[in-house]
Chains A and B, each alone.
Chain A
Amino acid sequence: MKEISVGVKMADKIKIPRQPMPEQDPLIRRKNFDEVPLGYDAETAQKEARRCIQCKKPGCVSGCPVEVNIPLFIQQIAEGDFLGAAHTIKETNSLPAICGRVCPQEDQCEKFCILGKKGDPVAIGRLERFAADYERAQGSVEIPPTLPATGKKIAVIGSGPSGLTIAGDLVKLGYDVTIFEALHKPGGVLIYGIPEFRLPKAIVEAEVEYLKKLGVKIELNSVIGRLKTIDDLFSEGYAAVYIAVGAGAPVFMNIPGENLLGIYSANEYLTRSNLMKAYLFPDYDTPIVTGKNVAVIGGGNVAMDAVRTALRLGAENAYIVYRRGREEMPARKEEIHHAEEEGVQFHFLTTPISYSGDENGWVKEMTCLRMELGEPDASGRRSPVPIPGSEFTLDVDTVVVAIGTQANPVIPLTTPGLETNKRGYIVTKGENGETSRPGVYAGGDIVTGSATVILAMGAGKRAARAIHEFLSRK
């Protein structure tokens, strides 16, 4: 039998089961905002790492949008070189503690793991999180050498995952990088959107601090397009601009009663709770409506975040109302599973058609229609078709509309010559983020529409290379 890393035989490797993630008990965690998965300890991580068979042509790497050297870092964990593992990941992924938590690994690296063909894939995401957390806990986050200063300034608009990634890459190449953030805290969706119980804010803050140590400057409260335009940035001497403002505008359904009190967009509900810490009201000043019967409309990760937030704010009944079936839900399996464990009630094949309120304008009832699945639509999923006469009502006092987001028009409106498509997203040439304006690049949700943290990071990485090439040619 062939020997592979750290002396575990192939046959024995396959016998090791995928190591479960220790988690807070569902009945306890539904009452708090602490992180749900607790993370592997060193022993568990090494055991899990030993499952990796070190494929010659690792499918996992090709499944990773930022091409982390997955077999190497897993081998390092197996060998007990945890810091080495963290450094390996950071060569291509500047935010591993975040990706280890929020990446949809089941659709990326782990989807291509050879072990997954017959059993469970290696828990790559959990191992990534372990290595990054270990490094942070040791207080030994290494500041990598940066190239000599080029003397060229680059403006990054937005401090979400795409902006943070490109800033890190370009500062290492010797550029003078300034991030302009509209809100009072950096991190974008990582701060305002994803709840504490899924991504502790201390982790995002640590990643931002790391970038600052590398030399990245961050200007908060700076709404580009209002405080200054992209043309102003060029006049101030910036050599290139990267637009990574996300798809931050909420979408409503435009059905009767949607402006009643107690009806939120997911953006507002989550921003109040996460960015403004309304879940700590009145210790924090920002209030949030803490309903007893909360319905969240939608089936994506944002909907899961919102409905689980509602439970933690004290909802007695927290519903997901989704127009398609369980199989079609775009949320990560793990998030759906967590929501179910915590007691979220699912209304599949259901869509709201109107809301009614009390005399003070508060929502009290939602009228819904049952749906059935028809022909596949453009996304390849079977499209929901209303069943006539299937109306029913649901008592609700809080509703969160989590059916997606759209492009915020402020930058396109104030940037002459910046081409957008008919949905308002910025048009880029090819994969490197080049826009119709020379020196202006864009990436993340403002180009693709709502997607994932890791895809936005991938766009940031490619644009960093493109900007470096563009400025090296000059």
Chain B
Amino acid sequence: MAKILKKEVISDGIFRMDIEAPEIARRRKAGQFVILRLNEKGERIPLTIVDSNPEEGSITIIFQVVGHTTALLSHLIEGEEILDLQGPLGNPTEIKNYGHAVCIGGGVGVGVVYPITKALKESGNRVTSIIGARSKDLLILEKEMAAISDRLIVTTDDGSYGFRGFVSQALAELLEKGEKIDCVFAIGPVPMMKAVSECTRPYGIKTYVSLNAIMVDGTGMCGACRVSVGEQTKFTCVDGPEFDGHEVDFDLLMKRLRMYCEQERVSYERNQCRCQNG
């Protein structure tokens, strides 16, 4: 059981929670995730650890309501408990001084890129961050990202705030201007990670992406999260979650993420009905 210490709505349908997890808080590193299960009938879902507070014994997660389990999670209140919390899982990000690092987050992916950005900044990198959302009211962590970046570029698809366009277009502008970039970390929707990887490919800039494949156990046991990287099958949970964006088969990932579309809809609608009927 893991108690919810703090809950905030940070944007439309996006929540931040601090959860009591002293052992995970002590051990986790940037780039790692947890798997949680809310009740006896619940499914297991992976969520990135955004931050931790070893003194308080807590970890922070950020999630967007996208289906049944995230909807249920969003209904929990401070003081309530999460039945199962397993972690830290996955390999930590390879943090070192690359020189000029560009950290890119799209949508709720800003939450995932945040701990990596923070760790890169702390290891002496010059950090440019590019964060984006569909519109201004969906943008998250602007202040937090600004505080750990040497420069912050904000984009919105509809132009309601900052640069009008996608994060990949903002990156392309920097590259066209001839800016020297030593590595890129890009996390967000699959099409965005694909677009960023295509931007950097001609320049040969090392580009890491963090993949959000469907998982069950998270310990390398089931292979649900398999992805194709450099024509080889890899397990996101134990070989990743970060991979070389130039090697990832994003089209396959997108298809595999839709494997349970129909069942997810059934589950979600059933839950909504239950809520409406009290």
Contacts and interface: CB of A to CB of B under 8 A. Distances in A.
A250 B222 CA distance: 6
A360 B258 contact: yes
A392 interface: no
A233 interface: no
B263 interface: yes
B216 A276 contact: yes
A120 B108 CA distance: 65
A34 interface: no
Contacts of A249: 220-221
Contacts of A283: 41
Majority secondary structure, B binding face: mixed
B45 to A, nearest CB: 9
B31 interface: no
Contacts of B41: 277, 283-285
Size class of the contact patch on chain A:
35 or more
Given A221-B86, A228-B23, A282 B267 contact: yes
A16 to B, nearest CB: 46
B244 to A, nearest CB: 18
A361 B252 contact: yes
Given A228-B27, A285-B68, A408-B220, A361 B86 contact: no
Given A265-B223, A271-B216, A285-B43, A259 B264 contact: no
B222 A268 contact: yes
A271 B43 CA distance: 12
A258 B259 CA distance: 14
A409 B256 CA distance: 25
Size class of the contact patch on chain B:
35 or more
Nearest to A269: B222
Query: Which of A228, A258, A281, A285 has the most chain B CB within a 10 Å cutoff?
Result: A285
Contacts of B221: 192, 248-250, 267, 271, 408
Contacts of A264: 223-224
B139 interface: no
A360 B257 CA distance: 11
B220 A410 contact: yes
B219 interface: yes
A259 B259 contact: no
Interface string A335-375: 00000000000000000000000001100000000000000
B85 A221 contact: yes
Nearest to A361: B255
Contacts of B219: 182-183, 223, 248, 408, 410
Interface in A218-234: 220-223, 226-228
B85 A361 contact: no
A286 interface: yes
A352 B85 CA distance: 39
Nearest to A185: B84
A258 B226 CA distance: 10
A361 B254 CA distance: 10
Contacts of A409: 220, 238
A264 B222 CA distance: 8
Contacts of B83: 184
Given A268-B222, A287-B263, A183 B217 contact: yes
A252 B223 contact: yes
A276 B89 contact: no
B22 to A, nearest CB: 11
Interface string B141-152: 000000000000
Nearest to A258: B233
Interface in B242-278: 252, 255-256, 258-260, 263-264, 266-267, 270
A138 interface: no
A261 interface: yes
Contacts of B270: 282
A254 interface: yes
B126 interface: no
B115 interface: no
Contact of A227 (B24, B43, B256, B266): B24
Interface in A57-101: none
B42 interface: yes
Contacts of B100: none
B259 A261 contact: yes
Contacts of B194: none
A249 B238 CA distance: 11
Contacts of B86: 182-184, 221-223
Closest 9 CB pairs of A and B: A287-B263, A361-B255, A268-B222, A221-B86, A285-B43, A184-B84, A265-B223, A248-B221, A286-B43
Interface of B: 23-24, 27, 37, 41-44, 68-69, 83-89, 216-217, 219-224, 226-228, 233, 238, 252, 255-256, 258-260, 263-264, 266-267, 270
25 contacts: A184-B83, A192-B217, A223-B219, A226-B89, A227-B27, A227-B88, A228-B23, A248-B219, A250-B223, A252-B233, A259-B226, A261-B256, A264-B224, A265-B222, A267-B221, A268-B223, A276-B216, A282-B263, A284-B41, A285-B43, A285-B267, A287-B43, A287-B263, A361-B255, A408-B221
Given A184-B83, A249-B220, A250-B223, 15 more contacts: A184-B44, A228-B23, A248-B221, A250-B221, A250-B222, A259-B226, A259-B227, A259-B228, A261-B256, A276-B216, A282-B263, A286-B44, A289-B260, A409-B238, A410-B220
